[in-house]
Amino acid sequence: MTSLKNDRLLRALTRQPTDVTPVWMMRQAGRYLPEYRASRARAGDFMSLCQNPDAACEVTLQPLQRYPQLDAAILFSDILTIPDAMGLGLYFEAGEGPRFKRPISSRADIEALPVPDVEQALGYVMQAVRQIRKELNGRAPLIGFSGSPWTLATYMVEGGSSRDFRKIKTMLYNEPETLHALLDKLSQSVTDYLNGQIKAGAQVVQIFDSWGGALSSAAFAEFSLAYLKRIAAGLIRENEGRQVPLILFTKGGGLWLEDLAETGADALGLDWTCDIGRARARVGHQVALQGNMDPAVLYAKPAVIRAEVARILAAYGQGAGHVFNLGHGITPDIDPSHVAAFFEAVHELSAR
Ligand SMILES: Cc1c2[nH]c(c1CCC(=O)O)Cc1[nH]c(c(CCC(=O)O)c1C)Cc1[nH]c(c(CCC(=O)O)c1C)Cc1[nH]c(c(C)c1CCC(=O)O)C2
């Protein structure tokens, strides 16, 4: 394997000093980039883009080609590949987001679900990881990812995106054992999936617990946190002679940072509702922190973006352990030149 020329991300995630604060962005390969829209038009639809390793590799590298400051690549794929591999029939309805042809509604449905063999059913993801690593040629580390069991379960039970989580919360309160059976199977699948990505070459992994914040504190502990802990304990933590850091991103998880820091993760992703300085005071002795600019700041003019970056850097303060990111994914209608202003500001204003 070629040596890594930019290890800022790996250093910051393990709380070692860096020359500047590393930066990457959730959904950095996506519709705000004209080159992505062109690749997507050539592929036809989003899942064809994910399932073709050449195309997935191409779009993963697009933001790194455009922005020299980027300190990481993130695998181009989706969290819903696991339920798709379990046979739920994923499709995307224009303007409606993800949908499943065969959602889960009963204990029998759950018992019939396979734990996918990742090299078989998700071999296209592993192949994309291998190819991206080769083409990155050490330019920056590659982040692999998965959804959390709870977040995947919301899509599988609701049949798609949801605002109120009516079906899955009815299951959670009426039949908790049924939901536990599903989360148990998903934890095994997520562990296998992330370990497969690590073996194929992912140098960092992030778990997107995007809907953890929809739960009460008690339900979060029982139906999300417990499974995050189990996954953290089952992951490969060292590969190619280096630590493979684990980042946990629970959107809306600011109230539970102390609990999240106890899971065994190396870093916590923060959404924009928490103050990163206060978060550091609570858990910075245990974990690195990633975040946390409001993605909507990127609608503002470059001088405002720069001031907001300065504010967040100052709130974190001096010392190691900060990875700059947005508090959630970038939205499709952002001007790519505003993203350039964002990345430039992070490196310029954090130079030590
Ligand atoms: C909830 C969730 C999903 N997918 C994902 C999450 C968790 C992250 C989060 O909290 O936002 C994760 C994801 N999805 C995508 C990535 C790629 C890596 C990256 O650049 O960050 C990642 C990490 C690409 C994508 N995933 C999707 C797109 C847009 C697809 C397109 O080209 O139309 C991209 C670039 C599709 C997708 N996939 C999903 C949704 C809700 C959508 C949006 C549907 C829409 O807005 O039309 C499910």
Q: What is the secondary structure of 208-246 as a DSSP string? A: EETTGGGS-HHHHIIIIIHHHHHHHHHS--EETTEE--E
Helix axes 123-136, 176-200, angle to 10 degrees: 40
67, 79, 146, 158, best to mutate for ligand 1 pocket (most atoms within 8 Å of CB): 79
Q: Is the dihedral of CA 10, 144, 215, 149 positive or negative?
A: negative
Q: Measure the CA–CA gap between 38 and 62, rounded to whole angstroms.
A: 11
CA 50 to centroid of ligand 1, rounded, Å: 11
Q: Measure the CA–CA gap between 89 and 296, rounded to whole angstroms.
A: 33
Q: Which ligand 1 atom is the nearest neighbour of the CA of 36?
A: 32
The two three-digit tokens of residue 282, written as one number: 């609570």
**pLDDT at 1 (0 to 100):** 60
Using a 6 Å CB cutoff, which residues line ligand 1? 26-31, 40, 46, 74, 76, 78-80, 97-98, 145, 161, 208, 210, 251, 329
CA 333 to centroid of ligand 1, rounded, Å: 15
Phi, psi of 189, rounded to the nearest 5 degrees: -65, -45
Q: Which ligand 1 atom is the nearest neighbour of the CA of 249?
A: 10
Q: Measure the CA–CA gap between 9 and 323, rounded to whole angstroms.
A: 7
Spell out the alpha helix ranges (H) of the chain: 8-13, 34-43, 46-51, 53-66, 81-85, 107-112, 118-121, 123-136, 149-158, 166-174, 176-200, 217-220, 226-234, 257-261, 276-283, 302-316, 336-350
**Atom 19 (ligand 1) nearest CA:** 27
CB 209, CB 190: distance < 8 Å: no
CB 341, CB 304: distance < 8 Å: no
CA 16 to centroid of ligand 1, rounded, Å: 31
**Atom 28 (ligand 1) nearest CA:** 30
pLDDT tens digits along 243-276 = 999 999 999 999 999 999 999 999 999 999 999 9
Q: Measure the CA–CA gap between 338 and 50, rounded to whole angstroms.
A: 27
**pLDDT at 94 (0 to 100):** 81
**Atom 1 (ligand 1) nearest CA:** 210
Q: Which ligand 1 atom is the nearest neighbour of the CA of 94?
A: 47
Neighbour count for residue 81 (Cβ, 10 Å): 23
pLDDT tens digits along 41-89 = 999 989 999 999 999 999 999 999 999 999 999 999 999 999 999 999 9
Q: Measure the CA–CA gap between 184 and 25, rounded to whole angstroms.
A: 30
- The single residue listed with the structure tokens 């690590």 is 198
**Atom 39 (ligand 1) nearest CA:** 98
78, 129, 145, 271, best to mutate for ligand 1 pocket (most atoms within 8 Å of CB): 78
**pLDDT at 93 (0 to 100):** 82
Residues of the chain with pLDDT under 70: 1
Q: Measure the CA–CA gap between 316 and 201, rounded to whole angstroms.
A: 31
3.20.20.210, 3.40.640.10, 3.40.190.10, 3.20.20.105: CATH of 8-350: 3.20.20.210
CB 269, CB 247: distance < 8 Å: yes
Q: How does DSSP classify residue 145?
A: E
**pLDDT at 71 (0 to 100):** 98
Instruction: List residues with catalytic annotation.
Output: 27, 31, 40, 78, 155
CA 27 to centroid of ligand 1, rounded, Å: 7
pTM of the model: 0.97
Residues making up the annotated binding site are: 27-31, 78, 155, 210, 328
**Residue ranges of the domains in the chain?**
8-350
Residues in the chain: 352
Phi, psi of 219, rounded to the nearest 5 degrees: -70, -35
